[in-house]
C-alpha cells in the first residue's frame, strides 16, 4: 500500500506539473493573442485549481475533508491527470503523423475550388500570424493556377474588428489575386460551420475538386470534419500551411486538444 501511495504521489506531482505548464503557457499566449472570454476562463481556472489541489493534497486537507472516500478520489484524480498527459502526447503524435492527402497543384482538376479556413484577425484588421500562413499557401496555389477559385471562410469574433473572411479577401487582393476569384463566407464561427457554410455555397456549383487549406496542426481535424459533414472525399485534397514556431505551436496544441475533446463529447 505504501508503494501504491508513493506511486500515486509521483503521478499527481508529474501530472499536475504537466497540465500546469500547458495551461500557463496557453494563458500567456492568450494575453498576447486573445481568443475571446471562454479560453481565458478555462486557462485561469486550470492554472489556479491544479496547484491549489496539489497543495491541499500535500497538506492533508483533502484527506480530512473527504475522509474514507479520499483514497478513491485521489486514485481517480491521479488517473485523470495521467490520462490527460498520455492522451495529449498521443494526440500530438496523431496530428503530426497523419497522412497528407494532397495533389501537386498542377494536377488538381480544372475549376477546382480552394477552401481556406479562417483564424484570428488582429486589431488592425490584418490577418494574424496563423491566418497569414494559410493565406500565403492559398496565394501560391492561386498564382500557379489561374482557374482556381477560393472560398475564404470565417465570421467576425467579438474581439475582431472585421470578419476573418473580409480580412482574408483584402490580404489576397493586395497580393494581386483578382477579387472575382474570391468567394466570401463570413458567418462561420468554428471549423464545422466553415465547412457547412462553404458546402452550401458549392451545392449548385460545378467544380473539379475541393482543396482545403489550413495549418498543419489543424489539418487532421479538418479532414475528419469534412468526411463527417458529407464532403466527397474522392474529390477533396488537403494542403497544410506551416505553423508559426515552437512556442505558438505548442500553445495551439493545448487548444487543439480541447477542440478534440469538445468534438468527441458534444459533436461540435
pLDDT band at 255 (very low <50, low <70, confident <90, very high): very high
pLDDT at residue 180 greater than cutoff 90:
yes
pLDDT at residue 37 greater than cutoff 90:
no
Quote the pLDDT of residue 13.
Answer: 96
C-alpha grid cell, residue 151 = 472560398
pLDDT band at 243 (very low <50, low <70, confident <90, very high): confident
pTM over 0.75: yes
Quote the pLDDT of residue 99.
Answer: 75
Residues in the chain: 268
Q: Of residues 129 and 50, which shows the higher confidence score?
A: 50
In eight-state DSSP terms, residue 121 is B
Quote the pLDDT of residue 116.
Answer: 98
Q: How many CB atoms lie within 10 A of CB 199?
A: 17
C-alpha Rg value of the chain to the nearest Å:
22
In CATH terms, the fold of domain 105-266 is Rossmann fold (3.40.50)
C-alpha grid cell, residue 26 = 496557453
pLDDT band at 33 (very low <50, low <70, confident <90, very high): confident
Quote the pLDDT of residue 36.
Answer: 73
Query: Beta strand pairing status for 210-215 and 182-185?
Result: unpaired
Amino acid at each position: 500500500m505504501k508503494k501504491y501511495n508513493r506511486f500515486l504521489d509521483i503521478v499527481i506531482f508529474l501530472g499536475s506539473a504537466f497540465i500546469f505548464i500547458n495551461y500557463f503557457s496557453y494563458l500567456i499566449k492568450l494575453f498576447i493573442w486573445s481568443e475571446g472570454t471562454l479560453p481565458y476562463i478555462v486557462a485561469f481556472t486550470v492554472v489556479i485549481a491544479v496547484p491549489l489541489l496539489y497543495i491541499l493534497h500535500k497538506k492533508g486537507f483533502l484527506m480530512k475533508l473527504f475522509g474514507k472516500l479520499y483514497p478513491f478520489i485521489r486514485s481517480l484524480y491521479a488517473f485523470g491527470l495521467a490520462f490527460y498527459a498520455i492522451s495529449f502526447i498521443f494526440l500530438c503524435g496523431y496530428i503530426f503523423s497523419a497522412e497528407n492527402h494532397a495533389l501537386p497543384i498542377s494536377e488538381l482538376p480544372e475549376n477546382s475550388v480552394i477552401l481556406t479556413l479562417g483564424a484570428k484577425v488582429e486589431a488592425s484588421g490584418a490577418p494574424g500570424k496563423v491566418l497569414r500562413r494559410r493565406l500565403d499557401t492559398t496565394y501560391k496555389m492561386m498564382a500557379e493556377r489561374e482557374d482556381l477559385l477560393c472560398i475564404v471562410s470565417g465570421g467576425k469574433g467579438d474581439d475582431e474588428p472585421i470578419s476573418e473572411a473580409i480580412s482574408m479577401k483584402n490580404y489576397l487582393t493586395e497580393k494581386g489575386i483578382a477579387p472575382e476569384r474570391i468567394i466570401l463566407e463570413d458567418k462561420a464561427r468554428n471549423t464545422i460551420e466553415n465547412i457547412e457554410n462553404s458546402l452550401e455555397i458549392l451545392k449548385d456549383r460545378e467544380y473539379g475538386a475541393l482543396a482545403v487549406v489550413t495549418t498543419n496542426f489543424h489539418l487532421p481535424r479538418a479532414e475528419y470534419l469534412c468526411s463527417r459533414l458529407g464532403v466527397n472525399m474522392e474529390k477533396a485534397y488537403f494542403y497544410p500551411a506551416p505553423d508559426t514556431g515552437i512556442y505558438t505551436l505548442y500553445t495551439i496544441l493545448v487548444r487543439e486538444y480541447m477542440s478534440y475533446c469538445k468534438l468527441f463529447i458534444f459533436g461540435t
